């Protein structure tokens, strides 16, 4: 079960049902075989009450942004942020994941992936906050989907 299904099940136990608008492709983000290769949680330094989850899933960086809100039973919104498919960042992650290196490189691969994820996540955060949550318009370098 992937992170989106886990969240959906958790919320269902609380009586909350996920809604997907007509523009969202639920299956695009829900894949039982998608297990995070790396997962990191962070509290925002710049936005009070905001938390981030950074993941590498299928060799692609993902950022989930949890934003507190005043309305609704859960009192939060969650957004899934990907780098645009036009971005070279995605190829970088896939390349590092597939590279067959020396034993020393192999030993340090996880640390390398974490550092890459931190760097790309900082870019995704800046691009996300430069966008407009009300109109769901964001810079073209990222794709954003509201998942909660």
For the chain, 148 residues long, the average pLDDT of each consecutive 10-residue run is: 64 66 45 64 92 89 93 90 86 87 90 90 95 94 93
What's the confidence (pLDDT) of residue 127? 96
3-state secondary structure of 17: coil
Q: Which among 7, 24, 6 is positioned nearest to 66, based on CA atoms?
A: 7
What's the confidence (pLDDT) of residue 124? 95
What's the confidence (pLDDT) of residue 133? 92
Q: Give whole-number Cα distances, 58 to 67, 79, 93, in Å.
A: 25, 19, 9
What's the confidence (pLDDT) of residue 27? 45
Q: Give whole-number Cα distances, 52 to 13, 17, 62, 78, in Å.
A: 23, 22, 10, 9
Residue 74 · residue 11 · CB < 8 Å? yes
Q: Which among 97, 69, 131 is positioned nearest to 140, based on CA atoms?
A: 131
DSSP secondary structure letter of residue 137 = B
What's the confidence (pLDDT) of residue 92? 86
Measured between alpha carbons, how far is 49 from 66 in angstroms, rounded to an integer?
Answer: 8
Does this model's pTM top 0.75? My answer is no
Domain boundaries, position 53: 3-146
Split into its structural domains, the chain has a count of 1
């Amino acid at each position: 079960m992937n992170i989106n299904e886990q969240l959906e099940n958790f919320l269902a136990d609380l009586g909350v049902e996920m809604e997907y608008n007509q523009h969202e492709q639920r299956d695009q983000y829900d894949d039982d075989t998608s297990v995070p290769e790396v997962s990191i949680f962070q509290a925002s330094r710049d936005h009070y009450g905001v938390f981030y989850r950074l993941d590498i899933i299928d060799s692609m960086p993902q950022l989930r942004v949890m934003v507190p809100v005043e309305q609704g039973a859960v009192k939060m919104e969650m957004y899934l942020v990907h780098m645009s498919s036009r971005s070279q960042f995605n190829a970088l992650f896939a390349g590092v994941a597939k590279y067959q290196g020396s034993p020393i490189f192999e030993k340090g691969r996880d640390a390398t992936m974490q550092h890459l994820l931190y760097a790309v996540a900082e870019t995704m955060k800046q691009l996300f906050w430069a966008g407009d949550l009300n109109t769901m318009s964001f810079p073209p370098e990222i794709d954003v989907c509201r998942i909660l």
